[in-house]
Amino acid sequence: MESLVIKAPAKVNLCLKIIKKRPDGYHEISTIFQKIGLFDELTLEKSAVPGICLTVNNPAVPSDCTNLVYRAAELLMRRREGVWGINIKLHKRIPAGAGLGGGSSDAAAALQGLNRLFDLGLSLHDLQQHAISLGADVPFFLSPWPTASADGIGEILQQVNLRTELWFIIVFPRFSISTAWAYATYSKDIILTNQQKNSILPNSIDDLAQVLTLLHNDFEQVVIPRHPEIAAIQKSLIQAGAEGALLSGSGSSVFGVFKNREVCDKAVVQLAKSLSGDIFMAPGLCQE
């Protein structure tokens, strides 16, 4: 095998609770990740030219060692003896800095793809050990599960069985929110305590009604006061037929949950007339 193409899905957080700040500066969370059918695409190709060459279709996304894909390639290729070269083409569709996990998913795809392309023989556990040094969301994207609960800093995963069809509209308001800022502001302005924190998450989701009971994101307490347009987008999604709407991750993307594709299709047309952000429609991914 000289090359391969691999897709990297986005995610939304159906629930996100910040439990506490740890002595090492990281925050423990309790969340439910859901992969969705919005994808970046990586093309990996062996090269006779030594080293890593990364090209990105979006000039706003770096193609140097600050990109998680580049760092993932560096991590794995240290395990390969001799002279090697790899060309990586990253086609971005997931907006960056949007709370959709695009960078983490790209890194996971790079780890998986390079392991296959160079026949490195690394197990899923091995890859996830590498992944945690790249970002707390990366182990989830390596997992085969489309839906999972996560504890710790996001690396302690458990499969959640999703037994209902979900459709999403994601609105990216074309500005980014720093995850570091969101955590720091939450730590400063909101009392972090385990009291009144119910961190027990379900191991199965049976229907849309259960999804709606889960929708919660602690980051909204600091993000919406700073960016009131987030609340306006949520209102627009509900008016367009969403059963619920929530900030994803630390933002800035907002997603609406819809009961079927038909309602979703109609809502996209309506929202395109009233909102100025980027609008994506995507199904929730299901276990194959």
Higher pLDDT, 264 or 288: 264
Q: Which of 143, 159, 175 is the last residue of a domain?
A: 159
Q: Are residues 165 and 146 in the same domain?
A: no
Question: pLDDT at residue 192 above 80?
Answer: no
Asked whether residue 288 is domain-assigned, the answer is: no
Give the residue-averaged pLDDT of 236-245. Answer: 98
Q: What digits encode the pLDDT tens for the residues 36-62?
A: 999 999 999 999 999 999 999 999 899
137 has catalytic annotation: yes
Q: Which of 26-40, 117-131, 190-204, 252-266 has the weakest average pLDDT?
A: 190-204
Question: pLDDT at residue 125 above 50?
Answer: yes
Q: Are residues 61 and 85 in the same domain?
A: yes
Give the residue-averaged pLDDT of 137-163. Answer: 95
Asked whether residue 134 is domain-assigned, the answer is: yes
20 has catalytic annotation: no
Percent share of the chain, pLDDT over 70: 97
Asked whether residue 179 is domain-assigned, the answer is: yes
Alpha-helix residue ranges (DSSP H) falling in the chain? 68-77, 102-117, 124-131, 138-142, 179-189, 208-214, 220-226, 229-239, 261-274
Q: Which of 11, 35, 40, 218 is catalytic?
A: 11
Domains contained in the chain, number? 2
pLDDT of residue 187: 84
Q: Which of 72-81, 121-130, 168-177, 279-288 has the weakest average pLDDT?
A: 72-81
Q: Which of 9-18, 28-37, 172-181, 192-201 has the weakest average pLDDT?
A: 192-201
Q: Are residues 274 and 212 in the same domain?
A: yes
Domain residue limits at 166:
161-283
Q: What digits encode the pLDDT tens for the residues 194-233?
A: 444 556 789 999 999 999 999 999 999 999 999 999 999 9
Q: Are residues 186 and 263 in the same domain?
A: yes
Q: Which of 126, 159, 192 is the last residue of a domain?
A: 159
Question: pLDDT at residue 12 above 90?
Answer: yes
Query: Comparing C-alpha atoms, which of 195, 175, 255 is closest to residue 13?
Result: 255
Phi/psi of residue 46, nearest 5 degrees? -60, 145
Q: Which residues pair with 149 in a beta bridge?
A: 32, 158
Q: Which of 17, 35, 40, 137 is catalytic?
A: 137
Chain-centre distance of CA 169, in angstroms?
15
Asked whether residue 27 is domain-assigned, the answer is: yes
Q: Are residues 173 and 227 in the same domain?
A: yes
In the predicted model, what is the mean pLDDT of the chain? 93
> Among all chains, which residue has been given the structure tokens 């000289």?
2
Give the residue-averaged pLDDT of 250-273. Answer: 96
Percent share of the chain, pLDDT over 90: 82
Q: Are residues 185 and 273 in the same domain?
A: yes
Q: Are residues 155 and 140 in the same domain?
A: yes
Q: Are residues 182 and 90 in the same domain?
A: no
Q: Are residues 10 and 109 in the same domain?
A: yes
Q: Are residues 166 and 223 in the same domain?
A: yes
CATH code for the domain of 9:
3.30.230.10
Band of pLDDT at residue 191, cut at 50, 70 and 90: low
Q: Which of 159, 194, 226 is the last residue of a domain?
A: 159
**pTM of the prediction?**
0.94
Band of pLDDT at residue 288, cut at 50, 70 and 90: low
Q: Are residues 189 and 233 in the same domain?
A: yes
Question: pLDDT at residue 119 above 70?
Answer: yes
pLDDT of residue 95: 95
Q: Are residues 123 and 191 in the same domain?
A: no
Determine contact, residues 282/253, Cβ cutoff 8 Å: no
